[in-house]
C-alpha cells in the first residue's frame, strides 16, 4: 500500500487482484479497480506491489508475481503495459 502525493488517500492492493483507493478522512473506499494483469478469462492474480510515479503522482505502477507490469492512473485506466522477459531468454 502507498499514500497518494496529497496524503489524503491510501492505495491498497490485494490477493484478489483489486486496487482500492481509500479516503483517509472518511475511511471509505473511493474507487475499486481490477489490475488487468491477468490474461482474459484467467483467474485473479494477486498484486505484489504498487508504487506511485514520482514525476506523475496521478499514475502508479502495479506489479504481480507474473512477468507483467502496468502503469495505471487514478481513474483506473491502463496507460502502459510491459511484458518482462527473463535474462536467460534474451541471450
What residue spans define the domains of the chain? 2-90
Higher pLDDT, 21 or 36: 21
pTM of the model: 0.75
CB 72 within 8 A of CB 19: yes
Q: Please give the pLDDT value at position 51.
A: 92
Q: Which CATH class is domain 2-90?
A: mainly beta
Question: What pLDDT digit, counting tens, does each position of 12-35 carry?
Answer: 998 888 899 999 999 999 999 886
Amino acid at each position: 500500500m502507498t499514500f497518494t502525493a496529497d496524503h489524503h488517500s491510501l492505495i491498497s492492493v490485494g490477493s484478489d487482484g483489486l486496487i482500492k483507493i481509500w479516503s483517509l478522512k472518511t475511511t471509505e473506499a473511493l474507487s475499486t479497480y481490477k489490475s488487468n494483469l491477468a490474461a482474459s478469462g484467467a483467474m485473479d492474480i494477486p498484486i505484489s506491489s504498487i508504487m506511485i510515479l514520482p514525476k506523475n503522482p496521478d499514475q502508479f505502477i502495479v506489479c504481480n508475481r507474473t512477468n507483467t507490469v502496468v502503469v495505471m492512473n487514478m481513474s483506473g485506466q491502463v496507460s502502459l503495459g510491459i511484458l518482462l522477459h527473463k535474462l536467460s531468454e534474451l541471450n
